Amino acid sequence: MEPSSADTIARVLTEALPYIQKFSGKTIVIKYGGNAMIDEDLKSSFACDVVLLKQVGINPVIVHGGGPQIGQTLEKLGKKTQFIDGMRVTDDETMDIVERVLGKIVNQEIVDLILQHGGKAQGLMGKEHGIVRAERLTISRTTQDGTGSERLDLGHVGQVTAIDSKPLIKLFEKSVIPVIAPIGLGENGESLNINADFVAGNIASSLHAEKLILLTNTPGVQHNGELLTGLKYDEITQLIADEVISGGMLPKVKCAWDAITSGVNAAHIIDGRVQHAVLLELFTDQGVGTLLSS
């Protein structure tokens, strides 16, 4: 090994040490999605990151999405999909497909990747053991003629009402990494498909996690082409008012901030297109995304 390479490795390890010491014994909830779930190299690096976190005494919890995989499966089956305000209208047949894709195919692939990297993981649907309880989500919007409002039923689409984190804590005690599909248990025992960001945020709040990490397909929150690496409440509210934070980033920021106000120490919106993004964000001074803190 060249001396310069050895020096670089030593500096990286030295930089990581205080972060490892600080976070050992803490819980970190990661919403896993986007390109990191599609690109083979990124999938492998993510699994490696998660196993390393567990190895140094951190309790990672993974909540995964799977929208593209669901869309591809529905298309192959000739099932047309309707979206309202970015949410998939989910009838009984679609919900069966969502459960199969998220709860079996995607979830199992993540568990297998962790096992391949020497970790222990257990796949769960959020509805199992009543971990994620939910109610049906309906949305209100102005009628087309502008004279009133209407409530729209999205079918098997839910929002979180309660989290039971005890089953997750039991897995921590067995050195097992929970991998959770965002399917909640409805009030009548039905399965409800829930936005994975908000499932992750609610689980992080329930566990009083040290951090919530949301993987995205962007570098983080940006303004005039520059990455904003650290944001606090006043800055966030001003950026929303100025419409700097808008579109698909807005619900992620709101989800992150809700988690912080509910007991999570900090939230990160990071670029999942970067290999080992989780380790770089947690264990280096510079990071690879936007840190939101109180």
User: Is the CB of residue 294 less than 8 Å from the CB of residue 286?
Assistant: no
User: Tokens in use for 176?
Assistant: 């097992």
- Segment 191-211 shows an average pLDDT of 96
d(Cα 263, Cα 187) in Å, to the nearest integer?
26
pLDDT band of residue 147 (cuts 50, 70, 90) is confident
- Segment 249-266 shows an average pLDDT of 93
3-class state of residue 277 by DSSP: helix
Provide the pairing of β-strand 87-88 with 266-271. unpaired
- The pLDDT tens digits for 15-33 are 999 999 999 999 999 999 8
Bridge partners, 291 (sequence order):
230, 268
pLDDT band of residue 265 (cuts 50, 70, 90) is very high
19 Cβ neighbours under 8 A, 6+ residues apart: 282, 283, 284
Q: Exposure of 111 by Cβ count < 10 A (0-12 exposed, 13-18 middle, 19+ buried)?
A: buried
Determine the pLDDT at residue 3.
52
d(Cα 276, Cα 289) in Å, to the nearest integer?
12
Residue 223 has pLDDT above 60, yes or no: yes
pLDDT band of residue 141 (cuts 50, 70, 90) is confident
Range among 74-78, 137-141, 161-165 rated most confident: 161-165
265 Cβ neighbours under 8 A, 6+ residues apart: 209, 210, 211, 293
60 Cβ neighbours under 8 A, 6+ residues apart: 27, 28, 29, 30, 50, 53, 54, 177
Task: Spell out the CATH class of 26-78+91-125+194-293.
Answer: alpha beta
Query: Taking the domains of the chain in order of start, what are their residue ranges?
Result: 26-78+91-125+194-293
Determine the pLDDT at residue 5.
74
Residue 142 has pLDDT above 90, yes or no: no
Determine the pLDDT at residue 8.
78
Listed residue (225, 289, 236) closest to 31, CA to CA: 289
